[in-house]
Structure 1
């Protein structure tokens, strides 16, 4: 039986690193692309360093990384940044463009490269967020970019005719993004942060390892959804938590 292979962007830390570890345990061959490199898993991962904010550098990096590869069982577009928790009126267009470049347009470059490469791909998962649909105050560039990522997946599903594509929100994952959220922002101004603060020390806040395992376990169920769909894993795996999340979102004027 041929060894399965996966491409993971942003695999040097957090969920991307945990996915790489979990797939290695499943005897996958891993191709990684990240700014810092995945030194922790060397030499078990075939890795290339690439700053995804440099859109022109992505194609040459993938040329080196995937030279000779004819099939990928899984592609996880994981790399992304949070940006600032701030009111939209306080965010500059320049900063919003930076966030969009990394969270949306770098993924377009990767998808275009994969289409042109002729590599056969079974499944593409782009890591999105519930922020894409909640529209909570303060989530600005992150929410916009993840909503854009969701639509990017929807549109590319038409072009990846033999590949299942999905944008997936994994739920709250205990990474440096959570630390940044709780350090930089005011929960009084941005009420959605209260839920994240309350999740600390509970099962609602997933470790990267648990989030990775949960995502991989859900891959067959994702394929049952229409290609191009946005799926919040909490809808499938924790419907009560998802219902509470939707009910608690802060609405304009509330």
Structure 2
């Protein structure tokens, strides 16, 4: 029997890399994204949906997962970055937009999965080191990922037969880095943490999405060794 995975935000970036990896492994992949993922061969069933359109999400999932009784892994990857700026310069509207995409869309997804009757072995929510670092400029993004970590911990109580984890994937060379590594868009003097990103780009410390997806896929089975609801950083897994 084929193994199955649901991946959100799989039209680009890390989500696309994860989709490539699982298809190459022969898994059946179910994808949800705004733009759709139609460029990859394999057992891929895909649906387009803006996950911040909360009323549209249940119908999209019902259509995508019709007849599915079991998912080996769910990877809630979809999310957005905020503009690099000080908290005092961040409007509540800007913060809300990031929270809607990075947190509340995942609550809608988790609620549907909880009530769906689908047996799920693991749910992995893609977090970030920004959720605990508190570096200047990461504002709404850091807040959203810290909230996502707690969301994972809280829902772990409500999925008694499913293992949940929030996973920071480390540095990944996606379109997000095009912005962060552009001196015209982000001032390194004002926001010193981007210096690490710029130094890591085009080195093994910042893998391409396909390679990062492989690292994550390899790490996911081992997350079950942690208590359900845990936060983990892929860069430190196995060091303790």
TM (norm. structure 1) is 0.91
Of residues 216-225 and 129-138 in structure 1, the stretch that sits farther from structure 2 once superposed is: 216-225
Equivalent residues in 2 for 1:59-78, closer than 5 Å: 59-78=58-77
Shift of residue 103 of structure 1? 0.1
Supply the distance in 2 between the matched residues of 1:55 and 1:86 (Cα, whole angstroms).
28
Cα offsets for 1:174-198 (capped at 9, x unmatched): 0001111122211100000011011
- 1:94 aligns with 93
- 2:233 aligns with 232
Supply the distance in 2 between the matched residues of 1:119 and 1:221 (Cα, whole angstroms).
22
Shift of residue 220 of structure 1? 2.2
Shift of residue 42 of structure 1? 5.9
Shift of residue 45 of structure 1? 1.2
Supply the distance in 1 between the matched residues of 2:96 and 2:112 (Cα, whole angstroms).
22
Cα offsets for 1:45-104 (capped at 9, x unmatched): 101100112121111111111111100000000000001111001011011111000000
Supply the distance in 2 between the matched residues of 1:27 and 1:44 (Cα, whole angstroms).
7
- What SS does structure 2 have at the residue aligned with 1:126? strand
Whether 1:133 and 2:128 are equivalent positions in the alignment is no
Contact 1:58–1:110 (8 Å) recurs in 2: yes
- What SS does structure 2 have at the residue aligned with 1:234? coil
Q: Name segments (4+ residues, structure 1) moved above 4 Å.
A: none
**Which structure carries more relative contact order (alpha carbon 8 Å, separation 6+)?**
2
Query: Gaps (5+ residues) in structure 1?
Result: 240-254
- What SS does structure 2 have at the residue aligned with 1:55? coil
Supply the distance in 2 between the matched residues of 1:187 and 1:57 (Cα, whole angstroms).
40
Supply the distance in 2 between the matched residues of 1:33 and 1:79 (Cα, whole angstroms).
9
Whether 1:173 and 2:172 are equivalent positions in the alignment is yes
TM (norm. structure 2) is 0.96
- 1:195 aligns with 196
Say which structure is richer in helix. Answer: 1
Supply the distance in 2 between the matched residues of 1:148 and 1:8 (Cα, whole angstroms).
20
